[in-house]
Amino acid sequence: MHQQIRTVPAKSTPDLQAFLAVLEKARVNIEAAGGGDVERGGEFAIAVAHEASNHAMTVLRKAGYKPRLVDVDRYALANSPGQLLASVAEVAAKNAKSGLVIRDVSIGVPDDEGRIQVQIYSEAP
């Protein structure tokens, strides 16, 4: 299982640009990102290399954010029709057994083989 860092990008007024600037200043490389309503109180999700997770979490906490580390399903998809559907179907089948639902999907940069990185985050309804 892979992990993802999630937080509301706000210390007072939500500001995604300021949040990203904190990560850039600390040289945190974001490999995937996603979220919704991020400047209206919603969460923003980022994925970093596994070995960079602790650094990113520390940087965000020191800057006043409240990040949390969550487990996600991760896929490396070919750029062809049906790839995302197959991944979502696999997660949905797993979720049907556990009672979870898909909350959101994050898309990342291609890996060294050109496959598109996708993370699917699920939680209780």
Distance CA 35, CA 37 (A): 7
Positions of the chain with pLDDT lower than 70, given as ranges: 1, 12
pTM reported for the whole predicted model? 0.87
Token reading at 92: 């949905």
Q: Which of 34, 72, 29, 73 minimizes the C-alpha distance to 53?
A: 29
**pLDDT tens, position by position, 68-85:** 999 999 999 999 999 999
Q: What is the pLDDT of residue 1?
A: 64
**Count of C-beta atoms within a 10 Å radius of residue 5:** 22
- The domains of the chain, with CATH numbers, are 2-70 (3.30.70.260), 72-123 (no CATH)
Q: What is the pLDDT of residue 41?
A: 87
